[in-house]
Structure 1
């Protein structure tokens, strides 16, 4: 993560995050890269302002932010909802990901709720569609 800012959820952001308009959030933004430093996605993480999460807290390799929040702030994830949707990369994001503006993207949104049902993290990862693969296995049991 490289940037941190505070934001008040207007109606549009509140609907996207699935929270109440007017709530205060910290937004952390970062460019994720492969081992050879090639960019593969941009991630925005939103946490309620009262959690007081900093860039220093989250810049730990191979540690999911929700686990850092659990360990440092005493919350426990009870439910994680994930949505996958199509998008289109704007000029600035496309440049950061080394693709053409307007390129198709895949957006993954994860919402983390604690044992009381409170939303404590929303992560939004946007990948160039040309570099994204989703794979899973299913076992059929009789």
Structure 2
């Protein structure tokens, strides 16, 4: 991998910046759950933007589950930490990974990289694409930060300015930080699972026996245009993760 990166992060659209500001106000308690947000004209005046910008920002917050909007009532703060819900098309399989809610990131290092042919093939990402790569473990916060899995996390080079926020909030999903800080919705998550053997230094890092069976989970987090914003490459010992498949029949015969 080349360790070169020349691109600078592009400025977020004004409505996305406003959405991020309002999300922070909600998460940090300046807008409490159950309260009404100011009207569109009031928000436009407070933030020096058009009503069109305000409407676009509020539409994002509603899509993310932070607010609800009711006629004759106004815009209500619905949640300070909404759960993201992802659905599937009929006739497809959804891969679900059940992990402990107490798992958090423990980042050992971060560096800017360009994917060579081998890594691009492994990650199913464009060869030559540029990323900020975090290396470390996922740990169980309830058990003295015992390592649960090894993780390599890649974020698009244009999002490298999120590095400090990612380090400061190990318990928050990076996809959620991308949505909050950049106003970009994660529209799709794709997951691929490989069987692996955990050996050598990796086995020692995870506190498991050499040649232990494991699962490698590679996830792509994509925006509405299908662009990959984040890739996670996580290796779990097989006894520390459960994978479930849900299938829905597209048409039930009478």
TM-score strictly above 0.5: yes
**Structure 2: where are the runs of 5+ without partners?**
1-106
> What pairs with 1:101-116 in structure 2 (closer than 5 Å)?
101-116=210-225
Tell me: CA distance 1:130–1:24, structure 2 relative to 1, closer, same or farther (3 Å).
same
User: Displacement, 1:55?
Assistant: 4.3
Q: How many correspondences in the alignment?
A: 142
Secondary structure at 1:134 match in 2: strand
Pair 1:16-2:122 in alignment: yes
- Larger % of strand: which? 1
Would the aligned equivalents of 1:28 and 1:55 in 2 still touch at CA under 8 Å? no
Counterpart selection for 2:148 from 24, 40, 45: 40
Stretches of 4+ aligned residues off by more than 2 angstroms: 16-19, 53-56, 130-140
1:3 aligns with 2:3: no
Q: Distance in 1 between matches of 2:164 and 2:114?
A: 22
Q: Which one of the candidate residues 170, 178, 182 is aligned to 1:73?
A: 182
Q: Which has the larger radius of gyration?
A: 2
2:192 match: 83
Aligned-pair distance for 1:135? 4.6
CA distance in 1: counterparts of 2:138 and 2:146, whole angstroms? 8
TM-score, scaled to structure 2: 0.50
TM-score normalised per structure 1: 0.86
Which has more helix, going by share of residues? 2
Q: Which runs of 5+ in 1 are unaligned?
A: none
Q: Which residue of 1 aligns with 2:43?
A: none
* Secondary structure of the corresponding residue to residue 107 of structure 1: strand
1:131 matched to which residue of 2? Answer: 240
